[in-house]
Amino acid sequence: MFSRIVYFFCAFLMLYTSLFFYPRWKQEGTEAAISWDASGYYWYLPSIFIYHDLKGQSFKDSIIKRYHPTLDEFQQGTKCENGSYVMKYSSGVALMETPFFFIAHFLADPLGFPRDGFSRPYQLAVQLGGLLASLLGLWYLRKLLKLFYEDKVVALVLFLLVVGSNYLNYSSVDCGMSHCWLFTIYVFLLLNTHYFYTTLKTKYAIRVGLLVGLAILTRPTEIVAGIIPLCWGITAISRDAIQAHIIWLKQQLKPLSMAVACVFVVYAIQLIYWKYTSGHWLYYSYGDQSFSFRSPHFYDYTLSYRTGWLRYTPLFIFSVVGIYAYWKKGAGKLSVIAFFLLNYYVVSAWDIWWYGGRAMVQSYPILVLPMAALAETAMKKRSWQVIFLAFAVLFTYLNLWITYMYHGGRLYDPDHMNRAYYWHVAGRWSEPDSAKFLMGGCDLFEGKARDINLVYANNFKTETGDCYKYATDSSHKTIILNKDRQASSVYKFEMDEKRAQWIRVEAVFGARPNENASTQFILRLVDSKRDQSVNIVREGVGPIGYLLQPGERKPIGFDLKIPETHFDHVEIMFWNADSWSEISIDSLKLWTFNELK
C-alpha cells in the first residue's frame, strides 16, 4: 500500500517536471521536444505520413530553417552512395510514437497549427507519449519489485529511482529520446520472462520475443537484452548448472523458437527500411562514430567530471554494491549480473563516451533489483539503515541539483565540466558567473590584491587586416571575429615569471543583438626554450559567452595563478568558437599582482 502512495507522488513529480518545470513542448529550436536525437528518432513519421518522401527528404531544409531542431544542417540522417538519405537512428521510437503522432495530426488543423509534423501539437504529442510510457513503466516496475521484495522496500526504491536519479530527467523532460521507452520495454521484458519461467506458457515466450525485437529496433545495441530470458533460470556459475539450463532450454524448443521468430519479425522493419533506402539489408548509419571494444572507456564513462555516469548519478553505487546481496538470493541473479556487465561494457565502448549516463537509463529496471536487495539488507540493522539513508539523501539532493541546473540554472554545463569547477559549484544554488572560467583551466581569485602592475596593453591601433576596424574613436581599433575570420592573431610578449603570484587578463567584448557569444579568450604561459610541441607551461581559456549577453558590450577578464615552472613569454589570442556569431574585441590588458595576506 505504501508503495502505491509513493508511486502517485512520483507520478505527480514527473507530471510537474514535464508540464510545468521544463515543458520542452513549449520550447523552440534545439530545446524543443522534437530536437537533436529526439528529432532523429521521430523523423520517420512526417517523412512517411505527411511528405511521403522517406528517401529524398526534400522537405528537410525547410523544416530545419523553420524549426531549427538541429544546428542549420540535417543531422538526422546521412546520404548513402545511391543518393538516398538513411535515418541515423533506428525506427523503434517512431513506431511507438505513431498513435500520438496521428492524434496530433488530427488536431493540428482545428487548433490552428500547421500540419507539418513539427508544430506545437506534434511537440506536445512527443512529450506526452514519452511521459505516459514512463508512467506506465514505473507502475509495472512496482508490480515487478513486489514479486520479490516487501512493500516498504519497493516504496523506497521507487522514490530513489525517480527523485534520486537521472530517470527523472529522461522520463519527464527529455522523454522524446529512446531511453524512457526502452525503460518500459525492459520492465515488461523482466515481468514476462519471470512469468514464462514460472508457468511455461507460450504466450509469455511470444511477448518476450516481441519485446526483445522492439528493444533492438529502438537501439541495435539492446541486443544484449536477449541475455535476460536466456539466462534467467541459471542459479549458479557452475558447469552443472549451465548444462542443466541448456537441457531445459532444449525442452522448451517450441516456445523458444516462436520467441526468436518474433524477434526477427519485429526487427525486419528496420531491415526492410534499410533495403528500401540504401539498397542493402544492413547499413551502418552512424558514419565515423563507432566502438572501441578493445579499449572501452570505463573510467571516463563512469567517473569523468564531464558527464561520468556515477559522478552525476551516484545513486547507482547502491546497485553496484548491492550485487553482493543480490547474488545470495536474487531472482534470475546470473541473468541480471551478466546483463549489467555486458551492457556496461558495450555502453562504455562507444567512442563518444561523453554522451553520459543517459545510455544506462533503460537498464535501470534491471539495476534496481540489486539496489532493492541492498536496501532490504540495510533495513535489518539500525546502523546500516542510517548509513544507507544518509547516502540516499545526499545522492537525491545532488540529482535534484543537477536536474534543476541542467534546465533552470546556470551552474551545470555538461560540455565543459572539470574537477575544479565541479567541486566549486556542486550542490550550490548560486555562484558568480566568473566561476565559469574554472571550466577553462583558469583560477578564481577571491582574495584582496596588492602590488598591481600593468604589464601589457594593446589597443590594436597599429594592426592591419580585414578583422580590424576602428572603434568609436580613432585612438584604437576593434577586432571583429565572425564566420569569415574566426581566430585573431597571437599577441606575444616577454614576461618574467618571478614578478608576481597572479596574472589577470582583460579585454572589452561586444556581441551583436540576438547573437550569443561563444568566443574563447585564451592565455598561455610559454617556455620558448622548450620544443614547440611542449612549450606551453600553463593555459587558461575564458568562455566569454557565459558573461556576455546579446547586444552587450563590457570588459571581461579572468585570473591565472603563476606556476613555479619556468616560462618567459605570454601568448594571448581570441577564437570565435561559433562561426555564425559576430564578436568585437578591443582594449586588451594584462596585469600581475600578489595576494594580500
State pLDDT tens for residues 512-523.
Answer: 887 777 889 999
Report pLDDT for 497.
65
Decide if pLDDT at 464 tops 80.
no
Model confidence at 473, in pLDDT bands (50, 70, 90)?
Answer: low
Strand partners, 257: none
User: Per-residue pLDDT tens for 521-533?
Assistant: 999 999 998 988 7
- Whether the per-residue pLDDT at 70 is higher than 60: the answer is yes
Q: Which residue has the higher pLDDT, 557 or 465?
A: 557
Q: What is the DSSP letter of 384?
A: H
Q: Quick: pLDDT tens for 213-249.
A: 999 999 999 999 999 999 999 988 888 999 999 999 9
What is the rounded distance in angstroms from the CA atom of residue 92 to the CA atom of residue 266? 9
- Non-local (6+) Cβ contacts of 129 within 8 A are 96, 97, 99, 100, 175
Write down the pLDDT at residue 471.
63
Yes or no: say if 54 and 48 are a contact pair by the CB < 8 Å rule: yes
Give the start-to-end residue ranges of the domains of the chain.
Answer: 2-406, 433-595
Task: Give me the residues paired with residue 561 across strands.
Answer: 502
Q: Is 572 helix (H, G, I), strand (E, B) or coil?
A: strand
**Residues sharing a CB contact under 8 Å with residue 199, sequence separation 6 or more, in sequence order:** none
Q: What is the pLDDT of residue 236?
A: 85
Above pLDDT 90, what percent of the chain? Answer: 83
* The pLDDT of residue 466: 61
Largest CA distance in the chain: 91
Note the pLDDT tens digit of each residue in 91-118.
999 999 999 999 999 999 999 999 999 9
With CA atoms as reference, report the closest residue to 371 among 347, 348, 395: 395
Indicate whether 476 pLDDT > 90: no
**Residues 6 or more apart in contact with residue 510 via CB below 8 angstroms:** 478, 548, 552, 553, 583, 584, 585
Half-sphere exposure of 134 (CA within 13 A, CB side): 35
More confident residue, 276 or 576: 276
Q: Is the pTM of this model over 0.85?
A: yes
- When pLDDT is averaged across residues 139-166 and rounded to a whole number, the result is 98
* Residues in CB range of 91: below 8 A, 6 or more apart: 44, 217, 269, 270, 273
Query: Residue 470: what pLDDT?
Result: 66
The pLDDT value recorded for residue 24 is 96
Closest CA to 505 of 388, 391, 589: 589
- Say if CB 506 and CB 580 are below 8 A apart: no
Rg (CA), the chain: 28
| Proportion of the chain above pLDDT 70, given as a percent | 97
Q: If you average pLDDT over residues 418-438, what whole number do you get?
A: 92
Rounded to whole angstroms, how far apart are CA atoms 367 and 318? 9
Read off φ and ψ for residue 375, nearest 5 degrees: -60, -40
At residue 336, the 3 state secondary structure works out as helix
Query: Mind listing the pLDDT tens digit for each residue in 279-319?
Result: 999 999 999 999 999 999 999 999 999 999 999 999 999 99
Tell me what pLDDT residue 294 has: 96
Question: What is the Cα–Cα distance from 108 to 595, expressed in whole angstroms?
Answer: 63
Q: What average pLDDT score do residues 325-349 get?
A: 95
Stretch 568-578: mean pLDDT: 90
Question: What number is the average pLDDT over the span 9-37?
Answer: 97
Q: Over the stretch 342-364, which tens digit does the pLDDT of each residue have?
A: 999 999 999 999 988 999 999 99
Q: Average pLDDT in the 255-272 region? A: 98
pLDDT at 335 over 90: yes
pLDDT(397) > 70 = yes
State the pLDDT confidence band at 136, using cuts at 50, 70 and 90. very high
Residue 43: is its pLDDT beyond 60?
A: yes
| Residue 549, pLDDT score | 87
Provide mean pLDDT across the span 180-198. 98
Q: Which is more confidently placed, 543 or 361? A: 361
Query: What is the pLDDT of the chain when averaged over all its residues?
Result: 94
Q: Is the pLDDT of residue 580 over 90?
A: no
Grid cell 591565472 is found at 560
**pLDDT in the model for residue 4:** 97
Q: Which CATH architecture has domain 433-595?
A: Sandwich (2.60)
